[in-house]
Structure formats: C-alpha cells, structure tokens
C-alpha cells in the first residue's frame, strides 16, 4: 500500500483554506493509503511562536484532523517534534540541498519579506525539513494545497540528488495530490492573496472556530465586484473575488464551479452570499464544533498524539538506519 504524509503548521487561526485545500482531502485518502498526518511544530517555530500558544495550537491541529474525520486508529496523527527522525534527516538533507535551489523558493521570499537578513535560518531551510518529514517514511504521495507545489518539487530534487550522489534507490520520488475545487482559497479581503493564518485581518479568513454569526459577517463583508454571477465559468475570468466565492461554494457542496453557476447565474452577491453562508455553516460548522469539543479534553488529544508518535517512530526507524548506512555514519 502506498504511503501518504502531510502536515499542517500549528500557528493558530486554522482556516477554510487549510480545510478545503488539505485537511478535507486527508479523510478520503485513508481508504486507499497508509496515512501519516502531522502537526508540524518544528516548521511553526521558523517564525516566533509563543510557547503556550504553540502547545495549544498543536493540539488544535490534531483536534481539527479528528473533527474532520481522520481516524486515529487507521491513520497516524502526531506532532513532528516528538519523532527525532525529522530533525536528523533534515540535517542530512541540508547537506544535499543546494543554496541555489532554496534561493528560488517563493514562500521564503514572501515570508521573509524585505527584511531578509533578519529571517531565521530555519525559515530558509524549511523546504529541507519538509523533504525530511515526507522521506523519513518513504511516503510516495503528499496531499497539499497548490501553494506547496514548489516545495514538493524541491523534495523530489533532494531525493533524486541523494539517490544519485550515493548511487542508491533509497528514496522514492513523491507525487503531490492537489485536488478538489478549492486548491487555492483566496483571502476574503483581497482576491489576489491566498487565505492565510498570518493575515493581520481576521476578516480575510473563515476559521474553524467561527460561529454562524462570524461566518455570516465575514462573507457579508467579503470583497466582490458589482456584477451578477455569470452563466459560464469563463465569465469568472478577471473576477478573482467572485471566482473565489464560487470555488468555495463548489468545494463545500461537492460540485464543480459550472454546476454552481447553473444554479446561481444572474444572481447578485446579495443573494449568493447568504446561500454560501448557509452552506458553510452546514458543512464547516459541525467540524469546528467537534474541534472545540475535543479541545476541551486535552488529555485525550495528547494520548492520541503519543500513540501516533510511537507508531511514526517505528516506521521511520528502519528508514533512518538505511540512510545512515548509505551516508557512512557508523552505528556502533
């Protein structure tokens, strides 16, 4: 059976983009793959995290997985920092990856911004740790949103260079799994920016913890243009905010965008937004409620994370033994 690895950073403000682009897809994949789902706390600290918030947000990511329907008996749910293989393999990959490759990573450029000299070394090396996350388990498929495509290409480059340099076939070439109608959910305030946890405006995103009133308010305030919805999908071109809301509706309703337009062609946003609110409350609301219920029992979440860490460590152990042998580390 092929193996899946994916992760979400416990940086707070988990949102609809994280759900539609990644977490929701994790659930169905459990039928066909052995799945490993991680709260990537070591990635989170590449930018400053308050320690108490980090602990709580790590449990929140695990709770979001469970609430969305990940089954902790079938799949592995754990926190990255609790399995040492991630850090160990990341160091080896730091010595395989080339500076030139990392210099091209758009996420680093976006997150470091103008003050590049002040960014952490960890933020720069982020894609190398991500490659280690996946390859410590020889995972072959990685469900992610579109924004992670470039990092996965780098994972393939690292695997290939490692295999070539050491003349082995240790690592598989991973395949991204990017699917659904909302692989890149955009900010509700600006259709040119992706919905993101770190956007200073809470109105830019719908979060797992939003109730009906907040969802309604955020969608009411969501930026749109003045035209009614078009008849055909091509009519959404050049209308990023409209395309975003139609995409969110399609993903939540399990339809394609054209099917949504067949229902709402000619409608004004004053009609479409309340319909989208009802749908979001119906589909996303119960997941947030279940996440909050799970968060009220941190001991239960911790027990799942502990068991997951043990299972993950057992899968990574033979891979790390093989890698150390290949690299030439002695194992007295």
In the bound state with ligand AQP, the residue whose beta carbon lies nearer, of 21 and 230, is 21
Q: How far is the CB of 21 from ligand AQP (least distance, A)?
A: 2
Q: Is 194 a known active-site residue? A: yes
Q: How far is the CB of 205 from ligand AQP (least distance, A)?
A: 8
220 contacts: CB under 8 Å, gap ≥ 6: 273, 277
Q: Which of 73, 149, 193, 194 is catalytic?
A: 194
Q: How far is the CB of 151 from ligand AQP (least distance, A)?
A: 9
Residues near ligand AQP (CB under 6 A) are 8-9, 11, 17-18, 21-22, 144-145, 147-148, 183-185, 194-198
In the bound state with ligand AQP, the residue whose beta carbon lies nearer, of 25 and 323, is 25
C-alpha–C-alpha distance, residues 41 and 57, integer Å: 9
Q: Which of 111, 283, 292, 324 is catalytic?
A: 111
Q: How far is the CB of 186 from ligand AQP (least distance, A)?
A: 7
Q: What are phi and psi of 233, to 5 degrees?
A: -60, -35
Q: Which helix (H) or strand (E) holds 241?
A: helix 240-253
DSSP-based three-state secondary structure for 4: strand
CB 97 within 8 A of CB 158: yes
Q: Which residues pair with 76 in a beta bridge?
A: 36
CB 14 within 8 A of CB 202: no
Within a 13 Å sphere around the CA of 52, how many CA atoms are in the beta-carbon half?
A: 0
DSSP state, 223?
-
In the bound state with ligand AQP, the residue whose beta carbon lies nearer, of 92 and 195, is 195
Q: Is 324 a known active-site residue? A: no
Q: Is 197 a known active-site residue? A: yes
Q: How far is the CB of 18 from ligand AQP (least distance, A)?
A: 4
In the bound state with ligand AQP, the residue whose beta carbon lies nearer, of 58 and 183, is 183
Residue facing ligand AQP at closest CB distance: 21
* Furthest C-alpha separation in the chain: 73
In the bound state with ligand AQP, the residue whose beta carbon lies nearer, of 58 and 196, is 196
Q: How far is the CB of 324 from ligand AQP (least distance, A)?
A: 28
Q: Which residues pair with 3 in a beta bridge?
A: 34
CB 59 within 8 A of CB 291: no
In the bound state with ligand AQP, the residue whose beta carbon lies nearer, of 159 and 182, is 182
DSSP-based three-state secondary structure for 288: helix
> Tokens in use for 242?
């409209």
In the bound state with ligand AQP, the residue whose beta carbon lies nearer, of 79 and 185, is 185
Q: How far is the CB of 110 from ligand AQP (least distance, A)?
A: 8
Q: Angle, nearest 10°, between helix axes 240-253 and 269-283?
A: 40
Q: Which of 138, 197, 218, 257 is catalytic?
A: 197
- CA–CA–CA angle 73, 78, 82 (5° rounding): 140
Question: What is the residue-wise DSSP string for 248-276?
Answer: HHHHHHT--HHHHHHHHTT--HHHHHHHH
Residues that are catalytic = 111, 194, 197
């Amino acid at each position: 059976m092929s193996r899946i690895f994916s992760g979400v950073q416990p940086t707070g403000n988990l949102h609809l983009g994280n759900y539609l682009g990644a977490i929701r897809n994790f659930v169905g994949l459990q039928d066909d793959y052995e799945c490993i789902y991680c709260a990537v706390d070591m990635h989170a600290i590449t930018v400053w995290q308050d320690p108490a918030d980090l602990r709580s947000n790590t449990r929140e990511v695990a709770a979001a997985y469970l609430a969305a329907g990940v089954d902790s008996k079938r799949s592995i749910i754990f926190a990255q920092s609790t399995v040492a293989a991630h850090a160990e393999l990341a160091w080896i990959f730091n010595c395989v990856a080339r500076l030139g490759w990392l210099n091209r990573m758009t996420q680093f450029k976006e997150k470091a911004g103008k003050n590049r000299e002040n960014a952490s070394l960890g933020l720069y090396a982020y894609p190398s740790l991500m490659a280690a996350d996946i390859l410590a388990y020889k995972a072959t498929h990685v469900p992610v949103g579109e924004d992670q495509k470039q990092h996965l290409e780098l994972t393939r480059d690292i695997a290939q260079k490692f295999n070539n340099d050491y003349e082995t076939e240790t690592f598989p070439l991973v395949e991204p799994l990017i699917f659904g109608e909302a692989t890149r959910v955009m900010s509700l305030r600006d259709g040119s920016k992706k919905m993101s946890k770190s956007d200073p405006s809470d109105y830019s995103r719908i979060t797992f913890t939003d109730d009906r009133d907040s969802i309604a308010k955020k969608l009411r305030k969501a930026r749109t243009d003045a035209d009614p919805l078009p008849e055909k999908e091509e009519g959404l071109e050049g209308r990023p905010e409209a395309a975003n809301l139609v995409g969110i509706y399609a993903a939540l309703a399990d339809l394609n965008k054209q099917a949504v337009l067949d229902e709402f062609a000619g409608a004004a946003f004053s009609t479409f937004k309340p319909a989208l609110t009802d749908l979001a409350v119906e589909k996303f609301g119960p997941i947030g409620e279940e996440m909050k219920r799970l968060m009220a029992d941190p001991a239960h979440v911790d027990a799942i994370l502990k068991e997951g860490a043990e299972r993950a460590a057992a899968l990574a152990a033979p891979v790390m033994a093989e890698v150390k042998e290949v690299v030439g580390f002695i194992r007295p």
